[in-house]
Amino acid sequence: MSTPESKERDPSTLRSARWWAPDDQRSFGHRSRLKQMGFNSEDFKAKPTIAILNTWSDMNNCHTHFRDRAEEVKRGVWQAGGFPVEIPVMSLSESFMKPTSMYYRNLLALEVEETLRCYPVDGAVLMGGCDKTVPALIMGATSANIPSIFLPAGPMLKGCWRGETLGSGTDMWKYWAEKQAGNLCDDSWAELEDGIARSPGHCMTMGTASTMTAIAEVLGLCLPGSTSIPAVHSTHARMASSCGRQIVELAWENITPRDLLTGNAFHNAIVTDMALGGSTNAIIHLIAMAGRAGIKLTLEKFDEISQQVKVIANIRPCGEYVMEDFYDAGGILALLSQIKEHLHLDCSTVSGKTLGENLEGAEVFNDDVIRPLDRSVSKAGGTFVLRGNLAPDGAVMKPTAAEPHLLKHKGPAVVFSDYADLKARINDESLALTPDHIIVLQNAGPIGAPGIPEWGMLPIPNYLLKQGVRDMLRISDARMSGTSYGACVLHVSPESAIGGPLALVQTGDFIEVDVDERKLHLDVTDEELETRRAAWAPRPDRHRRGYGKLYAEEITQAPEGCDFRFLHAGPDSPEPDIF
């Protein structure tokens, strides 16, 4: 990338010049309204206008520091000769949105795309971190294809309970099981609630947020090393102002997301996901993000790479540590330096350097946290793809997060028709579940739930928890939180709500899972399945208006990324007329 001194800047080439520069009545209106806000001509004239898309809100626990960070970005933009404007966009909070933030990922993506298109924007800083904000911001910016840099929220500090490190989500599930088993008193449970989330920032296990921000970085959209910095470190504030300076350069050079998001960049992203032992959600998001760039990713591509790249990040839920330890051990750059042989190092990044150049000097400072390949956390990558007559279009599983004896298992199914049914009956002792049973949940997919919520770590009955059972084979068309664990087969496709084979499973059917063989088989004859299919009928559609109607009509299945059909890559939308 050129330096400011090395190239003549021509302000008439800026997109925002169409709004600010003409000597006409409409531009008079634009300029006079900037002056209404207290800006002088010198503030905006002949400068790139930089949108800071801020997903802060009082409802987003992971982004509470974003008001400060936006000011730090502005400082960087001013320093580099740009004109910063902060624009709030929908704040997807993983903790509070129902039925699931995933239901709204595409809505934020659409808002981002149209916000960038309708305003005089030459470059954008995308402020996100909490799970779905990451793919949503990137999907929208990719479709708008305006120069963008992603500013990651950074992980929160580690949690603590009585001297023991707590990891987001992961330790909540663990201790909830202990509580249900009668091993944890109410006072201890209350102490855990006080200690598990102790600072701004996203979940600090290798959940979806840590996975997707790392992926954003390896795709080339973040400053080098930025995604590992804990949210409250002063380094994080300095990184924010650096983002502000760098986006001005990207705007002048017109380096857009689609310049960076190549097939090789997505290959790198999948390699990184596997080495991290990343969230299973990354598969859906990566397919959707690639789709916006006109690149088709298949489930087979993920499975192929999972057989080549082992998990080397020893981070919960697959490992022992949390993101603060990962940062101190060298962070994402150190991890990437260990898997260089699998990466396309010539991919461009927003730093103006290649990925390989960004990795120069990267070192591992604690090789128990970031393992060498010959001492990996697992023998294979983080996410496997299963297929069979129960999932003709595929299903995914994270074997590193499961008890090994369940990776090859055949057992009788106990079927719950939806989550309400599961909640009502799972602890009913008359079901007489054993550890060999396979718990099956229907109607939890993109259409069925709706929104393919993170219900996939289905609860184990209390009476089995009391017997010491901590893992069982569980199958659904739902997703699972990246912080979750267990032998959970997820994203079964096609989903049950549209008549996928999962809808036809009945209690007592035998199901066979063989992870090494990538097999997911329902042991019922084809003839019997046809008889059941003839008797099956979809549930009535509850969403007849508004966003729910749009969602139901346009959502795709998990192997297609759960994007809206009309938002897939296609001919670019026209620039707005300015009359």
Residues near ligand FES, by CB under 6 A:
62, 94-95, 130-131, 168, 202-203, 207, 209
Q: Mutual orientation of helices 208-218 and 263-276 as an angle, nearest 10°?
A: 140
| Nearest approach, Cβ of residue 410 and ligand FES (Å) | 35
Answer whether 554's CB lies under 8 Å from 548's CB: no
Q: Which is nearer to ligand FES, 155 or 224 (CB)?
A: 155
Peptide bond just before 494 cis, omega within 30 deg: yes
Q: Which is nearer to ligand FES, 119 or 173 (CB)?
A: 173
Q: Which is nearer to ligand FES, 202 or 474 (CB)?
A: 202
Q: Which is nearer to ligand FES, 101 or 306 (CB)?
A: 101
| Nearest approach, Cβ of residue 203 and ligand FES (Å) | 3
Q: Which is nearer to ligand FES, 276 or 395 (CB)?
A: 276
Nearest to 54 by CA among 90, 102, 100, 15: 90
Buried-exposed string 404-413: b where 16+ CB fall within 10 A, e elsewhere: eebbebebeb
Nearest to 315 by CA among 269, 279, 277: 277
| Nearest approach, Cβ of residue 290 and ligand FES (Å) | 22
| Nearest approach, Cβ of residue 45 and ligand FES (Å) | 40
Q: How far is residue 28's CA from residue 463's CA, in Å, rounded to a whole number?
A: 73
Q: Which is nearer to ligand FES, 315 or 515 (CB)?
A: 315
Q: Which is nearer to ligand FES, 131 or 217 (CB)?
A: 131
| Nearest approach, Cβ of residue 224 and ligand FES (Å) | 22
- The DSSP symbol for 513 reads E
Q: Which is nearer to ligand FES, 113 or 131 (CB)?
A: 131
Answer whether 401's CB lies under 8 Å from 485's CB: yes
The DSSP line for 361-404 is: T---S-TTTB--GGG-SSSS-S-EEEEETTEEEEEEE-GGGS-G
| Nearest approach, Cβ of residue 282 and ligand FES (Å) | 13
- From residue 476, how far is each of 151, 207, 356, 403 by CA, in Å? 34, 19, 40, 18
Q: Mutual orientation of helices 208-218 and 133-144 as an angle, nearest 10°?
A: 30
Widest Cα–Cα separation across the chain: 80
| Nearest approach, Cβ of residue 279 and ligand FES (Å) | 10
| Nearest approach, Cβ of residue 64 and ligand FES (Å) | 11
Q: How far is residue 410's CA from residue 436's CA, in Å, rounded to a whole number?
A: 8
Q: How far is residue 563's CA from residue 48's CA, in Å, rounded to a whole number?
A: 31
CB neighbours (10 Å) of residue 532?
Answer: 15
